[in-house]
Each structure stands twice: as C-alpha cells, then as structure tokens.
A and B are shown apart, each in its own frame.
Chain A
C-alpha cells in the first residue's frame, strides 16, 4: 500500500512539472507550479521531513507562488513565442544526466561517516530537543547566519531598485476600494495567523517548526493584509528598514558577544543555550516575515511598460 501511494505521488510530481514546462500559457504554468509545491510538501512528509513539508508549503508553494502570480499579473500577454529550435542535443544530454544520476544513486562506498549518530550524541548539549533546529541554530549556525545575510541582501537590492522609481508610483490608490468580504475575512484571520506563527516558532524547539516556517507564515499574513488593502507599509520607511535588519543584527550581536567571554565564535553558553536559541529564533521570525513581505511589497508597481 505504501508503494502505491509513493509511486502515485512521484508520478504526480512529474506530471505537475511537465505541466509547468510544456503548457503554452504562462498563467497555467504558474498554477501547476503551485500544485507542484503542494505535492512536494506531501513528498517531504513521506520522507519523514515534516520541517521541510512546512517550509515547502509556506515558502516554496505559498510565497513563491504569490510572487509569480503577482509578476504574471503585470505581464501584458501570457503567450510566449516558440522556444529555440535546436532541441535534440539538449534533450540527449539531459537524459544522459538523469541516467547518470540515477545510476550513481545506489553507489555504496564503504568508508563513510554517520552524522545522525553524532547529532543524536551532542543533542543534549545543544539546548533544544528537535534535531533539525539544533543543527540549524547550533551545530551549523554559521550557515544560518550567512543565509539570513542572503535574505537581507535580496531585500537590500529590491530596495535599491525601487528607490530608483519615482516615489509616487509605488503608493497604490487611496483605500476607498476595499472589498467588504475580503476585509472582513482578513481582519478576523490576521490574529489567527499571528497566533499560528508564534505557535510554530515556539514549537520549533521540540517538534518540527522554527524560525523560517514561523517567518513564512507571518509573511503570508502580511501579504494577505496588503492584498486586502490594509495599507501597512505606510509606517515610517526607516522602521521597516530596521525591522528587516533586526534579526541579522541580533544574531550577529549574540554571536560576537559570546566571543568576549573567551568562547569561540557562535558558541552559546552551555546552560542558557536553549534560551539563546529561542531569543534568536523569535527575532529571526519577525525579521524573516518582514523581509519576505518586503520582497513581495517592493516589486515594481503598475507602470505600463513602454516599448523602447
């Protein structure tokens, strides 16, 4: 029974991917892409990776889907002319790549280190029970630090591109056109979303969840508010800028202040590791939510593209 479900899921994934690549109309591809994201979330559950399922659903399918839909909305025509004609050569090497990959997947080199045991051993000292959060925020916290930097750079570049625009073009029309049903729904849903985000963040230390998933849910809430014409980006621009960088700032501050005590970079004091991680995660969630929202919000506005 398991195998049947897995094979259906796998073939479903391939079907969705085929739909994304070979459908004529771009809008249809984006919709198929979102479906692909949801199926992928299911796959992560099958691979016993609930964290990834959460992240994939929230960030992969959800947020990326919204960004794509928003982009499609601004394109005038969705049809795109025929792709390049030389297709035989790329087809052959792609098939070769696939075969090579599959062939190599079942290789079994003898000498190999088993990391999961190492993680299990040093889990108690990491200050959290959930292994993935331990890896993310303690064992390989330097990766996470750089990753937040990547997010921040993306936001900075988005801001840089937008400052170029005339400021007027970005503020959308005044709020008269707010849709009653959507407004009602959003105003009631927003607190629930916030609650869920905080819950996911809190649960991260002992079961799947954590900063990224919480941040993504928060961002989804903010996007919903923006779509329902609750003008939240009118708050002072510098506050938004501080919010974006706050998570990274706190993480870096903690990472370096620890060094003053003589410990190596990014080593949390043994006793308070859990509290440190939770504190960092809370600020990170807030910042990731804001960054992901600003990536959606900063994208260029309604100007009609002029053909020059």
Chain B
C-alpha cells in the first residue's frame, strides 16, 4: 500500500515538474497558461490520491478532496481571466487567430 502511495506522489511531482518546464519553455502566455493549469491540476489530483489512504478520518479525507476541487475551479477561472485579459490587451497575440484571419482573406 505504501508503495502505491509513493508511486502516486512521485507521479504527481513529475507532473508538477513537467508543468513548470512547460511554463519556462513555451513561447507565449496562452500556451503557458495551458501547460500550468493542466499539469498542476493533474499533479495535485495524483498527490491528493496518494495522501488519501494516510488520512486519519473520513471528514479529513473529504476536506482533501474539497481542496482539490476548489483548486480546480480556481485555476480554471484564473486561466480564463488571464487569457481574456491578454486577448483584450493585444488581439494580434493569438497565433491561431492570425491563420484563421488569413484563411478568411483568401
């Protein structure tokens, strides 16, 4: 049982590292948000799963799950807002938008 926990926590940390790598490597804001939100949420989920068995009582376990859900909702809204803000600030930043615009022209 303890090995499964180590495995899960290790995988969680791995996802965190991947997320951070994504943050550092990716060119612009949108891709970075994408990387961070996805990787970290998954990482946190795995971490939470890894820690669940060692909780003393059910309410404590529920609280762990509640933490994960809250983080999920918060990071989703946050990434939406940041993307929304960056798009509003500089519309040309969208790589995708540039191609669709050129398709419409020709």
Contact = CB atoms under 8 A, between A and B. Distances in A.
Interface string A170-206: 0000000001011001001100100000000000000
Interface residues of B, number: 6
Give the dominant DSSP class at B's interface.
helix
B80 interface: yes
A182 B84 CA distance: 11
B70 A192 contact: yes
B55 interface: no
A171 B81 CA distance: 23
A182 B81 contact: yes
B2 interface: no
Contacts of A188: 73
B80 A181 contact: yes
B77 A185 contact: yes
Contacts of B84: 179, 181
Residue of B73, B77, B84 ringed by the most chain A CB atoms within 10 A: B77
Contacts of B70: 189, 192
A21 B80 CA distance: 31
A41 to B, nearest CB: 14
Interface string B69-106: 01001000100110010000000000000000000000
A182 B70 CA distance: 14
Interface string B54-75: 0000000000000000100100
Interface of A: 179, 181-182, 185, 188-189, 192
14 contacts: A179-B81, A179-B84, A181-B77, A181-B80, A181-B81, A181-B84, A182-B77, A182-B81, A185-B73, A185-B77, A188-B73, A189-B70, A189-B73, A192-B70
Given A181-B77, A189-B73, 12 more contacts: A179-B81, A179-B84, A181-B80, A181-B81, A181-B84, A182-B77, A182-B81, A185-B73, A185-B77, A188-B73, A189-B70, A192-B70
| A-B pairs, 10 with minimum CB distance | A185-B77, A181-B80, A181-B77, A185-B73, A182-B77, A182-B81, A189-B73, A192-B70, A179-B84, A181-B81
